[in-house]
Amino acid sequence: MKPRSLLTACLLFMVAMFLAVGCKNPAVYIKTTTEVEAAAVAFSNTTTVNLGFSAWPGWFPWQVAEEKGIFSSKNVAVKLKWFDGYLESISTLTAGQIDANSQTLGDTVSAVAGGVDKVIVLVNDNSTGNDKIIVAPGINSIKDLRGKKVAAEEGTVDHFLLLLGMKRAGLSPQDIQFVPLETGKAAAAFVAGQVDATAVFAPFTTQALRREGSKELFSSKDFPGAISDHLVVSREFLYKHPKEIQGLVDSWFATLDYIRENQDRAYMIMAKRAGVSVEEYKQYADGTRLFSIEENLKAFQPGNNMTSLLYAANEMSKFLNDVGLAKSKPNITLLFDDRFVKAYAQMQANTARGKGKEAGE
């Protein structure tokens, strides 16, 4: 009996060792499996956000977020919707066929003036040169635009920029022959010699400058804060899906971190989406200022110049009235909601404090 008991004990010991080496601790395994399954269930219950964007350097980071899995890392399901025509993205959001869109402050104010209830929840960027007035040979000053054919997309920020420059030079809208064309078509018409000047944004600026002898007359760099770009949602979506909106905002800032740390790879992704070479895309870098969380927080505050969104929106409202694109001043009192950028800033602060405590231990 004794030898048998010893053999049994040895066998049991070997089995126990095998289990210890070959298997995970059951308690740890169960806990880990439960957490993974819970996360999977939570993600599967997340509403898929249909997010629209179009050709603008400040919005190409969304492509990076998708290709590098950043949306899923922030527990938000996103389906990107690319629009060849920028204004189509705005009308699609208005029709409720997408949930969120990338668009300018001016075009959002214009939509609100038309009775649409939209909310700005994030500043993507400010244009600092990527919106340009490009002219044919022989036009050397803004005053030289008098009597000339100038193409732009009516009511957009590039039209706004054109009129800002003309106003500074003492010209009125009636002093030019304005040709209303979609931005891509405006650039093409200029290259074909059908118009004398055009107001376009990147990457269409690259196309327009292919006309022999053409040059930049002035740009958004000359009017700081005049053109800002945003993540915009409908108020209904805001009320129903704040968690998803927070996921979008968190994803945006995580994407900016990725771009800073992996610039070459990020530029390849964005250049491909833009349909230009990486070298051409790099030329856009200085013309678009991607906003940090600190710059976002500041932009949402009241102010007395164009760096304040509220001030800029009021100026845009005046512009829409002046050019006859709005019959009355739009109500912009509920246009901005900064709770999501504030929540992200708080999360970052909490993380920093946590790391500080760990370092002090």
pLDDT per position as a tens digit, 130-167: 999 999 999 999 999 999 999 999 888 899 999 999 99
pLDDT digits (tens, 9 = 90+) for 287-339: 999 999 999 999 999 999 888 999 999 988 888 887 777 777 888 889 999 99
Q: Position of tokens 């118009």?
A: 195
The one-character DSSP state at 47 is P
Which alpha helices (DSSP H) does the chain contain, by range? Answer: 2-22, 26-44, 61-67, 70-73, 86-94, 105-113, 157-168, 183-191, 204-208, 235-240, 242-261, 263-274, 278-282, 293-299, 309-322, 339-360
pTM of the model: 0.80
pLDDT digits (tens, 9 = 90+) for 238-267: 999 999 999 999 999 999 999 999 999 999
Strands 78-83 and 49-54: parallel
